[in-house]
Chains A and B, each alone.
Chain A
Amino acid sequence: MAILRNKFRPLSAAHVGLAGFVVLAVCLGYGQTTNSCLDCHSALPDPLGVSQETFSQDIHAQKGLTCASCHGGDPTSDDPDKAMSPKAGWKGKIDRKHIPQLCGSCHSDPAYIRQFNPSLRTDQLDQYRTSVHGKRFAAGDTKVAVCTDCHSVHDLRVPSDSRSTVNPANVANTCARCHSDADYMKGYSIPTDQFAKYSTSVHHEALAVRGDLSAPTCSTCHGNHGAAPPGVDKVQNVCSNCHAFQAQMYEKSSHKKAFDAASLPGCVVCHSNHGIRHPTDAMLGTGPDAVCMRCHTPGDACDQARAGLQTSLSQLDAAIKSADQILGVAESSGMEVSEARLGQDQARDSLTKARVTIHSFRTDLVDQDIQAGLKIAAKNLQAGKQAMVERNYRRAGLGISLIAIGIVLAGLWLYTKKIES
């Protein structure tokens, strides 16, 4: 027994220590991996239901945050009373009034955010407070958007994720959930047709049809956390973020002064806002799509300048099309006209430049671009005609060659017959 005791004694300290460490490690491990909230809530129906699969997609869950990070409580306890005990800091369903502040408690803390994503901004809450949403919210209107309305909750994804509600491709739909709902927007005295109009716009086409994620959506012009409609005198500042050359031209134009004097919202006067269509030369015309004649009087100096600009643009457009047509025929005949084809791109660039220069509303500047384009288009047209002459020359040469070959063949055949007869 003494021998046994002696043998056991040196073992006991090490083994007890080791056993204690293992038990502690298992307990800690269990505590880290167990989320009793999801055990119950994954089985509950909406609005209390949150599945493990849904929550695992959430960026917060992926970064190691749990339900308790927002809702408090003790997710390690299987006992609902303990897990949702106020003693454990359980807050329950977050009151809508507290959502911006709750999100901001982490997202406004640079030191905290830096450990997850150093490049993520931390001024969202500050910006939100300057937005129309934020101001109304501060005034007690809880119908306005808070963080979770746009970003969703429990399955919140980063904006670069195509499934995110704030991915550029989805932003308009997210905004439209409230802004296109006439009943919900009742009392705010703002239209609810923005999304319907935007859906017909050239911007929507670029984003949704062509998949160009840099194309503008609601937040591009209105901002996101600091969302507000641009002021009448600030519209061109918004558009100029992308349409820089047009804005530069407009800034120096006579229209800028006139619009400012009349408190007209710059670009929007001619191009509208949400339903911006692809601009055409018909905007300079007198038909249904005309915009100049909404303000100008027929026959005045501006109307004459308008007519001149439209004629110039049509002239260059027609010249490019003529050259395209003949080059197309030459190309389909197998002629090598790639150089002229490349030149056509230059002519098209001149036309685009002229259309941009229209925003200066100066006929002399537009004419410079038009003349440059016409010169290139004429050169390409000539190249096309030359290619057609060459094609016909080749075909005539082929005809003569085939006749010569035919004569030789006939001669050979006759000679063969002669020597074999």
Chain B
Amino acid sequence: MSLLRNVRNWLDQRLGWDDLIAPLRKKTVPLHKLSYWYFLGGITLFLFVIQVLTGILLLLYYRPGANEAFESVQYIMTRVQFGWLIRSIHSWSANLMIFTAFAHMFSVLFLKAYRKPRELTWVSGMILLFLVMGFGFSGYLLPWNTLAFFATKVGTEITGQVPAIGKPVMIFLRGGEEVTGATLTRFFGFHVAVLPGLATVLILLHVLLVQRLGMSIPPKLEVQWTANPSAKREMKFFPNFLLRELMAWYVALGVLGALAAVFPWNLGVKADPFGSAPAGIKPEWYFLFMFQTLKLIPPKVWFIDGEIVGVLAFGLIGLLWLLLPFFESDEPSSMKRWITGLSVFALAYVAGMSVYGYLAK
């Protein structure tokens, strides 16, 4: 213990360690029956760190290129010591991260944690959610298997439906008119350089804002606690909350390990650009609600192409969702109830359409 104390003294003398962690010591977390929702952001962050670490390890062997990508992932899965584990954890962790990011977004929505003064926290979080989906879309192509190839083809085709900018964006994403090795190289670049860079900056901003503004308290509880300050209950962030967060991370690690060992991520069959698309091809589950919606829209809505209407509608909804906190004022209004109703509808829609899309042939 004296060694630890010595290290701490050494750091304190040079960096002012005690001053640095003083805010953490003062920081508290509201304690109420919904406190466990606060863990979701931390778990998402933990899974992101897992992604970065396993991603770096995969980079040691992965080779981007239409002729090498599949074989290199196959090599990782079969020849590299614990390669299967690293790749499976990377894939499972990516899916769990997207799930926890969505869950975190809805928990913030239902607990109304996006309200003033936390608008920027919400906006940065929403952009992070879009980036996480971008990670999923770009990373899905990297093993260059049949499903990934055709899912990317369909996905980029949908992007191409956006009026005016759609076609140039599609060509930019694909690196040409078709999905080829050039697309793979681009997606690799987005996946390991562009998106991680943007995500790191935004995560730092997001966490900084959370630390700066503290944890939000649900509105009803806030009113009660303001009226009766003695009813207020809190927990120290350090070490009490952090220890619990650590336990949640350990549970997540156990779940990841179990999934990776019992259900290693399938590699599939190498993509054949001249082959036909597998029947009933579907995107990954997190894009399924949008995919199914686009399928259900009639070919023509009035005189506009149905798919264009769908893509534009999702774009508009995404933008409005990003700006959601700015539609809610401090004053009690019908807008508050409207946003809660919309949130319930959004959750039911996303979940319902995803299940429908999964079951639909």
Which A residues have a C-beta under 8 Å from some C-beta of B?
Answer: 334-336, 338-339, 394-395, 397-398, 401-402, 405-406, 408-409, 412-413, 415-416, 419-420
Q: Name the interface residues of B250-269: CB closer than 8 Å to any CB of A.
A: 250-251, 253-254, 257-258, 261-267, 269
Shortest Cβ distance from A413 into B: residue: B247
Give A328 Cβ to nearest chain B Cβ, in Å. Answer: 14
Instruction: For chain B, residues 138 to 182, give those with C-beta under 8 angstroms from any C-beta of chain A.
Output: none
Contacts A336-B78, A338-B267, A413-B247; A398 near B240 (Cβ below 8 A) = no
Question: Which of A338, A395, A412, A419 interacts with B246 by CB under 8 Å?
Answer: A412
CB contact under 8 A between A416 and B251, given known A398-B261, A398-B262? no
Task: Say how far B84's CB is from chain A's closest CB, in angstroms.
Answer: 7
CB-CB under 8 A from B267, the residues of chain A are 336, 338
For chain B residues 192-247, which have a beta carbon within 8 Å of chain A? 239-240, 243-244, 246-247
A402 contacts B243, CB within 8 Å? no
Q: Does A336 contact B74, Cβ atoms closer than 8 Å? A: yes
Q: Which residue of B lies closest to A396 (CB)?
A: B261
A-B contact pairs, 13 of them (CB 8 A): A334-B263, A336-B77, A336-B264, A338-B267, A395-B261, A401-B254, A402-B258, A405-B253, A409-B251, A416-B240, A416-B243, A416-B244, A416-B247
CB-based contact A338/B74 at 8 Å: yes
Check A419/B263 contact, CB under 8 A, given A338-B74, A398-B257, A402-B254.
no
Is B78 within 8 A of A339, CB to CB? yes
Q: Closest approach, in angstroms, between the C-beta of A8 and any C-beta of chain B?
A: 57
Residues B257 and A401 in contact, CB atoms below 8 Å apart: yes
Contact A412-B247, Cβ < 8 Å, known A336-B77, A338-B267: yes
* CB neighbours of B239 from chain A (8 A): 419
Evaluate contact between B263 and A402: CB separation under 8 angstroms: no
Nearest to A383 among chain B residues (CB) is: B78
Q: Is the CB of A334 within 8 A of B266?
A: yes
Distance (whole angstroms) from the CB of B288 to the closest CB of chain A? 22
Contact of B262 among A395, A401, A409 (CB under 8 A): A395
Interface size on B, residues (CB 8 A): 26
Chain B residues, CB < 8 A from A401? 254, 257
Cβ-closest chain A residue relative to B239? A419
The minimal Cβ–Cβ distance linking A5 to chain B, given in whole angstroms, is 62
* Residues of chain B with a CB closer than 8 A to A412's CB: 243, 246-247, 250
For B269, list chain A residues within 8 Å (CB): 338
**Chain A nearest CB: distance from B295 CB in Å?**
28
Tell me whether A334 and B262 are in contact (CB under 8 A).
yes
Across the two chains, which residue of chain B brings its CB closest to A394? B261
Q: Are A408 and B250 in contact (CB under 8 A)?
A: yes
Which 4 residue pairs are nearest across A and B when measured between Cβ atoms?
A334-B264, A398-B261, A336-B77, A405-B254
Residues of B within 8 A of A338 (CB): 74, 267, 269
Chain B residues close to A by CB (< 8 Å): 74, 77-78, 84-85, 88, 239-240, 243-244, 246-247, 250-251, 253-254, 257-258, 261-267, 269
A382 to chain B, nearest CB (A): 15
Known contacts A334-B264, A338-B267, A415-B243; is-contact A402 B251 (Cβ 8 Å): no
Which of chain B's residues have a CB closer than 8 A to the CB of A406? 254
Smallest CB separation, B196 vs chain A (Å): 27
Residues of B within 8 A of A416 (CB): 240, 243-244, 247
Nearest residue, chain A, Cβ from B253: A405
Shortest distance in angstroms between A136's beta carbon and chain B's nearest beta carbon?
49
| Beta-carbon contact of B240 and A419 below 8 Å | yes
A397 to B250: give the CA distance in the assembly, Å.
Answer: 16
Q: Given the complex of chains A and B, what is the CA–CA distance between A402 and B246 in angstroms? A: 16
Further pairs besides A339-B74, A398-B262, A412-B250: 6, Cβ < 8 Å: A336-B84, A336-B264, A401-B254, A405-B253, A405-B254, A412-B247
| CA gap between A338 and B71 in the complex, in Å | 11
Choice from A334, A394, A409 contacting B250 with Cβ under 8 Å: A409
Residue contact B266 to A409, C-beta cutoff 8 Å:
no
A413: chain B residues within 8 A (beta carbon): 247
B69 to chain A, nearest CB (A): 15
The residue in chain B whose Cβ has the minimal distance to the Cβ of A337 is B78
Contacts of B258 in A (CB 8 A): 398, 402
- Closest approach, in angstroms, between the C-beta of B247 and any C-beta of chain A? 5
Q: Give, as a whole number of angstroms, the nearest-CB distance from A223 to chain B.
A: 36
> Of A336, A394, A412, which is in contact with the most chain B CB atoms at under 10 Å from its CB?
A336
| Residue in A closest to B258 when the chains form the complex, CB atoms | A398
Most buried by A among B85, B239, B254, B266: B254
The smallest beta-carbon distance between A198 and chain B, in angstroms, is 32
Distance in Å from the Cβ of A207 to the closest Cβ of chain B?
22
Alpha-carbon gap, A269 to B250, bound state (A): 73
Smallest Cβ distance from A316 to chain B, in angstroms? Answer: 26
CA distance A315 to B195 in the complex (A): 56
Contacts of B77 in A (CB 8 A): 336
Instruction: Give Cα distance in the complex from A339 to B74, angstroms.
Output: 9
Q: How far is the CB of B208 from chain A (nearest CB, A)?
A: 27
Task: Chain B residues near A398: list those with CB within 8 A.
Answer: 257-258, 261-262
Contacts of B78 in A (CB 8 A): 336, 339
Task: For residue B96, give the distance in angstroms from its CB to the closest CB of chain A.
Answer: 16
The interface residues of chain B lying within 8 Å CB-to-CB of A415 are 243
- Please give the distance in Å from B177's CB to the nearest CB on chain A: 31
